[in-house]
Amino acid sequence: MGIDVVLLGYGAIGQAVHRMLGAHDGEVRVLGVLDRASLADPDPAALTARTTGPTGPAGPGSGPRVPVLDLATAIERADLVIECASPAAVRAHGPAITSAGTDLLVASLGALADGRLRAVLEAGPGRCHYSTGAIGGLDLIRASAGTINAIELRTRKLPAALLHPGLPGALRSAITRTAESGTAAPVFSGSVADAIRDFPSNINVAAALGLAAGDLDLVAVDIIADPAAAMTRHEITVRGEGGNYRFGIENFPDPANPATSALTARSMVSGVLRLAGCGPHFI
Ligand SMILES: NC(=O)C1=CN([C@@H]2O[C@H](COP(=O)(O)OP(=O)(O)OC[C@H]3O[C@@H](n4cnc5c(N)ncnc54)[C@H](O)[C@@H]3O)[C@@H](O)[C@H]2O)C=CC1
Ligand SMILES: O=C([O-])CC(=O)C(=O)O
């Protein structure tokens, strides 16, 4: 009994998920990891170092060991691939996984803002599951799909958590100015598609809200860079025919990656346990 899983991505989330699944090894077996950084260097010593917790709080060499797998082996052996890498990884590997009949759990939901990719992943025969990630309330929003008029997402993060190499120059300057001034300031206002384009690994929660509501265009996104933000905050306001809802979510960042809320790994573990049949299930 139980399910066999592979981690696609072995950074902050992947390592935290691996550690937490250690308490459930009767229900979920972690067969290995598929990570760009590990696959780029086939030296066994380097792979071992990279798969024993190099960035996690446990430090190098002290985490649980796990083999590095290639995509073909991962697809052949796993019941479920747990994606916690990047939207690019979903684009690159997602179609091969679900079309081979292996299930996929996605954290980088921004990739699914592309309707064509979503259709390919949904065509199966492997099932594509969406992680609730860094937020909650998605059950209510999903149940309300078709009755929602508008969703607002206001995300507040540390400036350093918003900076990444692909950031357009004007946004980079605005975020850097905020960090230097020490005062919180809005740095982005726009659609889910624009937010995902500018912050691909930072605002997957916006895509999650749109996917749950059944229409990404219902979601308006504001991002505030706040040098004093010890916690990442997502304020979600939903207005619709069935009612109005507000969720305020304050997450501690993952110690290994300040851009990622620590809740994300716990959400993924909760989802995996549910897929492995471990209750209780709220549906
Ligand atoms: N749905 C949600 O609420 C959230 C989703 N995320 C998503 O999870 C992703 C991972 O987050 P962290 O673990 O904090 O990032 P991280 O940067 O600590 O680790 C990502 C790992 O994935 C690997 N990777 C990246 N692209 C890859 C590819 N194409 N193929 C194979 N390996 C690849 C990297 O080498 C790295 O080891 C983020 O990029 C983001 O897209 C993150 C936070 C919340
Ligand atoms: O972890 C968070 O708070 C949100 C995040 O990075 C994302 O949505 O990609």
- Whether 101 and 206 share a structural domain: no
Please give all residues whose beta carbon lies within 6 A of any atom in ligand 1, as ranges.
9-14, 35-37, 84-89, 92, 107-109, 131, 133-134, 201, 204-205, 208, 254, 257, 260-261, 264
- Nearest-angstrom CA–CA distance, 142 and 208: 10
Marked catalytic residue, from 18, 164, 234, 281: 234
Residue length, the chain?
283
Confidence (pLDDT) at 118: 98
- Whether 95 and 117 share a structural domain: yes
In a domain, 190, yes or no: yes
Phi-psi region of 183 (alpha: psi -120 to 50; beta: other; left: phi over 0): beta
In a domain, 53, yes or no: yes
- Nearest-angstrom CA–CA distance, 170 and 249: 28
pLDDT per residue over 22-34, tens digit each?
999 999 999 999 9
Percent of the chain past pLDDT 90, that is, above it, reads: 87
In a domain, 41, yes or no: yes
Beta strands 148-157 and 219-225 are: parallel
Give residues with Cβ within 8 angstroms of 43, minimum separation 6: none
Q: Exposed, middle or buried by CB within 10 Å (0-12, 13-18, 19+), for 85?
A: buried
Active site residue 164: no
Question: Is any ligand 2 atom within 6 A of the Cβ of residue 195?
Answer: no
- Whether 227 and 203 share a structural domain: yes
CATH code at position 104: 3.40.50.720
pLDDT per residue over 156-190, tens digit each?
999 999 999 999 999 999 999 999 999 999 999 99
Q: How far is ligand 1, taken at its centre, from the CA of residue 255, in Å?
A: 14
In a domain, 280, yes or no: no
In a domain, 47, yes or no: yes
- Whether 52 and 162 share a structural domain: no
- Whether 113 and 198 share a structural domain: no
- Whether 80 and 150 share a structural domain: no
pLDDT per residue over 78-102, tens digit each?
999 999 999 999 999 999 999 999 9
Q: How far is ligand 2, taken at its centre, from the CA of residue 28, in Å?
A: 25
In a domain, 258, yes or no: no
- Whether 184 and 238 share a structural domain: yes
Structurally, the chain folds into a number of domains equal to 2
Q: How far is ligand 2, taken at its centre, from the CA of residue 44, in Å?
A: 32
CATH code at position 170: 3.30.360.10
- Whether 86 and 176 share a structural domain: no
Q: Exposed, middle or buried by CB within 10 Å (0-12, 13-18, 19+), for 264?
A: buried
- The yes-or-no verdict on residue 52 having pLDDT over 50 is no
Confidence (pLDDT) at 279: 85
- The yes-or-no verdict on residue 199 having pLDDT over 50 is yes
Confidence (pLDDT) at 61: 43
Beta strands 232-240 and 148-157 are: antiparallel
- Whether 147 and 232 share a structural domain: yes
In a domain, 283, yes or no: no
- Whether 31 and 114 share a structural domain: yes
Q: Could you say which ligand is closest to the alpha carbon of residue 255?
A: 1
Q: Which of 2, 51, 7 is nearest to 28 (CA)?
A: 2
Confidence (pLDDT) at 66: 87
C-alpha dist (Å) from residue 131 to 107, 108, 110, 173, 268: 5, 9, 12, 32, 6
Enumerate the β-bridge partners of residue 239: 150, 244
- Whether 58 and 172 share a structural domain: no
- The yes-or-no verdict on residue 45 having pLDDT over 60 is no
**For ligand 1, mutation pick of 6, 15, 35, 109 (most atoms within 8 Å of CB):** 35
- Whether 193 and 242 share a structural domain: yes
Could you tell me the two tokens for 142? Answer: 């999903």
pLDDT per residue over 208-237, tens digit each?
999 999 999 999 999 999 999 999 999 999
Q: In the predicted model, what is the mean pLDDT of residues 55-83?
A: 77
In a domain, 71, yes or no: yes
Rounded to the nearest integer, the mean pLDDT of the chain is 92
Q: How far is ligand 1, taken at its centre, from the CA of residue 266, in Å?
A: 15
Ligand 1 atom nearest to 16, measured from its CA = 13
- Nearest-angstrom CA–CA distance, 120 and 94: 9
For residues 29 and 51, which has the higher predicted lDDT (pLDDT)? 29
Q: Could you say which ligand is closest to the alpha carbon of residue 86?
A: 1
Confidence (pLDDT) at 37: 81
Query: Using H for helix, E for strand and C for coil, what is the string for 197-262?
Result: HHCCCCCHHHHHHHHHHCCHHHEEEEEEECCCCCCEEEEEEEEECCCEEEEEEEECEECCEEEEEC
Range of the domain at 22: 3-130+263-275
